[in-house]
Structure 1
Amino acid sequence: MALQERQEPDVYQENFEPTSYLEYYRMNQDPIGDEVLHFLLKHYNATFKPGGLEGKLLIDIGSGPTIYQFLSACESFQEIIATDYTDKNLQELEKWLKKMPGAFDWSPVVKYVCELEGNRDKWAEKEERVRRAVTQVLKCDVLKERPLEPAVLPPADGLISSLCLEAACPTPQACRDALRHLRTLLRPGGHLVLSGGFETTFFMVGDKRFSTLPLNEKFLREALQEAGFIIEKLEKVTRAAETHLDNRSDYTGLFFLVARRGD
């Protein structure tokens, strides 16, 4: 099958500025960021709490420059591998992992997750746990049959991917193919934890506009089934009224789902 060709010029590699994108994640300072973070973090907490999903290896697909998606998972997976398509995002992620000067301050978000877990005061310990858990930061392209090539990894117990597919996939067929590609990274019975926005056609990073593939629940259910996944949980929320006037993105709602590789 022919690979979906990326549009030229490569807008993400050239124009996506991680430091501008991270402005969304200054907790209690950005209404859109807060809406997305509160929704995702609560569901990550519920998914990875004791008795929930666990295992040895977790791969995050399309990490961007963010670490919020690791904060609950690092408690139930021994090793996390972060991945992204753009070099700048990988560099920004490494900056935080290695405590380099100028790294983004995630502590308000970390404290919020620790509060969900019952002890806000353990935030510094949580940050160190994340740094220990994330053992590799790799290039990733979900449009490739082997998204992580040239890296060769054992089959993962879990995959997470947040706000990635709608940005990475230019067409519905590309999204179907991407889910099929991701399935190959999972062991039989392993889980995919997927989240994002509904009906999003664009989002802004600083003054740069990025087009996205509008997803809806019907399409997601069909595409996941076609790719060999069984959905175990799908949570959704309508966009809050107070963010509707914010013209940096046009998403209509958010989703969070857990699906198992059916074999």
Structure 2
Amino acid sequence: MSKSNGEVHKPNDYVTTFDPDAYFQHYFGKSIEDGTRVSLFALPVFAHLIVQTMRPNERQTLLDIGAGPTVYSALCFRDVVKEIYLTDYVEKNLDRVKEWLAGSTTYDWKPTIKVILRTEGGHFLQQGIIETSEEKAKGVVKCGGVCFADVHQNPVVPNMEGRQVDILLTIFTLESACQTYEQYKVCMKNMMNHLRPGGRFILGSVLEDDEYNSGRSVMFTLLNLTETKILNALEEVGIDMGSVKKYVLNDEGVMFLMATKF
């Protein structure tokens, strides 16, 4: 796999080497371009669908499990919810998000925001719209939080104290955190405990691949998952399969979907 939009969540036991600084530098190089192109294909569409199908009082909170060092979900859902919780297993990733909130990051998110605004169909060249959009995103994260998460534990996010949210989102997380399909199903169940009945679940997953690499070397191993296995796991944890809306990008080897929890 040569995709560059996976996050660091929980490097598993069969990772040979992992250098967080090297990963971060790579991630924000070519990978930010690939991540935007692939991940942001679906997220603004799902955000729009949620606005169309959920009343404002039904979509107050969003939890992103495994956000990595990125703020994609905050940028895409800045006008959809009131509170966003960005979580990850790796402290360095959480530090990068906190730097962004504090205005001390060295990474410029403006090109990514332009892509999001184009996808939304907005007037992205309107004066001040990029800065306003970023400030809105920061505002909803400040109302929520930046928290540690471990998908192998229940609760996944200890700081949430059992609280359930309206929207649960996870992109390219479990395939890097799990070694077996049984583990995957347990972690999926753990995550789903944070989503209220009637809430929306958004998933981005790599399909039928077993490694993440930088184009030069393997950075960590992935659990090989088929679309059928993923859908079966979702059905077991109480997802309404009749509500599934999915996009399969065969050229990229990824699938995005949104569904409702019973």
Common fold: TM-score over 0.5: yes
Contact 2:44 2:76 in 1 (8 A): no
Alignment pair present for 1:108 and 2:111: yes
For 2:248, give the aligned amino acid: V
Contact 1:17 1:88 in 2 (8 A): no
Following TM superposition, by how much is the alpha carbon of 1:67 offset from its aligned partner in structure 2, in angstroms?
Answer: 1.0
Structure 1 residues 75, 48: CA separation in 2 closer, same or farther (over 3 Å shift)? Answer: farther
For 2:24, give the aligned amino acid: P
Q: In the alignment, which residue of structure 2 is the partner of 1:86?
A: 90
Provide Cα deviations, 1:66-124, integer angstroms capped at 9, x if missing partner: 1122222121110000000001111111111211042x211111011112332203221
Q: In the alignment, which residue of structure 1 is the partner of 2:184?
A: 175
Q: In the alignment, which residue of structure 2 is the partner of 1:43?
A: 45
Contact 1:58 1:80 in 2 (8 A): yes
Q: In the alignment, which residue of structure 2 is the partner of 1:246?
A: none
Alignment pair present for 1:161 and 2:170: yes
Provide Cα deviations, 1:171-219, integer angstroms capped at 9, x if missing partner: 1111111111111111121111111221121112475521011222111
Structure 1 residues 260, 10: CA separation in 2 closer, same or farther (over 3 Å shift)? Answer: farther
Alignment pair present for 1:149 and 2:158: yes
Following TM superposition, by how much is the alpha carbon of 1:65 offset from its aligned partner in structure 2, in angstroms?
Answer: 0.5
Indicate the RMSD between aligned Cα atoms, in angstroms. Answer: 2.7
Alignment pair present for 1:133 and 2:116: no
Contact 1:199 1:215 in 2 (8 A): yes
Contact 1:194 1:257 in 2 (8 A): yes
Following TM superposition, by how much is the alpha carbon of 1:64 offset from its aligned partner in structure 2, in angstroms?
Answer: 0.3
User: Could you tell me how far apart the structure 1 residues matched to 2:22 and 2:88 are?
Assistant: 12
Contact 2:46 2:258 in 1 (8 A): no
Secondary structure of 2:60's counterpart equals strand
TM-score of the pair, normalised by structure 1: 0.81
Q: In the alignment, which residue of structure 2 is the partner of 1:260?
A: 260
User: Could you tell me how far apart the structure 2 residues matched to 1:150 and 1:238 are?
Assistant: 35
Among 195, 198, 202, the residue aligned to 2:207: 198
Following TM superposition, by how much is the alpha carbon of 1:57 offset from its aligned partner in structure 2, in angstroms?
Answer: 1.2
Alignment gaps of 5+ in structure 1? 1-5, 241-251
Query: Which sits farther off after the overlay, 12-21 or 196-205?
Result: 12-21
Following TM superposition, by how much is the alpha carbon of 1:7 offset from its aligned partner in structure 2, in angstroms?
Answer: 2.4
Q: Which has the higher contact order (CA 8 A, sep 6+)?
A: 2
User: Could you tell me how far apart the structure 1 residues matched to 2:195 and 2:105 are?
Assistant: 35
For 1:39, give the aligned amino acid: F
Q: In the alignment, which residue of structure 1 is the partner of 2:13?
A: 7
For 1:132, give the aligned amino acid: G
Contact 2:47 2:80 in 1 (8 A): no
Following TM superposition, by how much is the alpha carbon of 1:44 offset from its aligned partner in structure 2, in angstroms?
Answer: 3.7
Q: In the alignment, which residue of structure 2 is the partner of 1:235?
A: 246
TM-score of the pair, normalised by structure 2: 0.82
Q: In the alignment, which residue of structure 1 is the partner of 2:102?
A: 98
Secondary structure of 2:28's counterpart equals helix
Q: Calculate percent identity across the aligned residue pairs.
A: 27
